[in-house]
Structure 1
Amino acid sequence: MIIARNHTGHRVGECHHRAKLTDSQVRSMRADREMGMSLRALAKAYGCGLSTARDICDFATRYTA
């Protein structure tokens, strides 16, 4: 398995030891958001916080997924 790292050598994305969502879940979450699903429903469906769902859908975090 290739470990994803940023420009400083730190693990990023699903390779990070504290990651709760896989890259495929992140892509699915963004696709569900485009289909009109609310952020609250996304957070509940994927088991993450509301702010996490918002940041993922706004590409503020996990932008490489």
Structure 2
Amino acid sequence: MSIPPNPPEWVKSSYSGNGGGNCLEFSPSVAVITGRVPVRDSKLSESPILTFGAPQWSSFLTFAKDQS
């Protein structure tokens, strides 16, 4: 399955700021349609898109929240 190169909506991580650093964004609208969560570097919109299954993405979010 391929992810469209320009998904209709990208959502920036709430931890992303204007000061640079490690920031990412994901496309929930594509995730709803495909069951896969596309993720990219928010600073480089033309960067490669990684995709994760919804259960794996959920596990990652749980882990990240537990680290804060």
Same fold by TM-score greater than 0.5: no
Higher relative contact order (CA 8 A, sep 6+): 1
- The structure that is strand-richer by fraction is 2
- The structure that is helix-richer by fraction is 1
Q: TM-score, normalised by structure 2?
A: 0.29
